[in-house]
Amino acid sequence: MAQKMTEAEIEESLKALDGWTLAESRSAITKKFKFKDFCTAWNFMEDAAVEVNRMSHHPEWTNVYNRVEVTLTTHDVGGLSEMDFDLAAIMDEIAASPDIQS
């Protein structure tokens, strides 16, 4: 089972991610992705969904045209866990992949 991270662990883990920030109103991390068009944003979400299901760790996300806003938290622990940072890194890799960017 996931463990709730300490503030020090969260701060250190955030340093390894690009563009992810702490949510203002709760213990979560968030990022806004911007793609060239709707289809590219949708492809990102489809590819991310495969990893989300594999991890059984589901994001809160919204899509408006070419933008996808993602919020990650671990509800079971009432805050952030390593799973959130692992999924954030995976999403960053997917967003940067040639398949998504082409």
The pLDDT score that the predictor gives to residue 91 is 97
Helix, strand, or coil (residue 56): coil
Look at residue 83 and tell me if it is in a domain: yes
Q: What is the pLDDT of residues 2-27, one digit of tens each?
A: 899 999 999 999 999 999 999 998 99
Within a 10 A sphere around the Cβ of 94, how many other Cβ atoms? 19
Q: What is the CATH number of the domain that holds 66?
A: 3.30.1360.20
How far is residue 4's CA from residue 29's CA, in Å, rounded to a whole number?
14
The pLDDT score that the predictor gives to residue 99 is 75
The pTM score is 0.93
Look at residue 2 and tell me if it is in a domain: no
Look at residue 85 and tell me if it is in a domain: yes
Total structural domains in the chain? 1
Look at residue 94 and tell me if it is in a domain: yes
Q: What is the pLDDT of residues 28-78, one digit of tens each?
A: 999 999 999 999 999 999 999 999 999 999 999 999 999 999 999 999 898
Range of the domain at 50: 7-101
Look at residue 1 and tell me if it is in a domain: no
The pLDDT score that the predictor gives to residue 100 is 76
Look at residue 77 and tell me if it is in a domain: yes
Element (H, E) at 89: helix 82-96
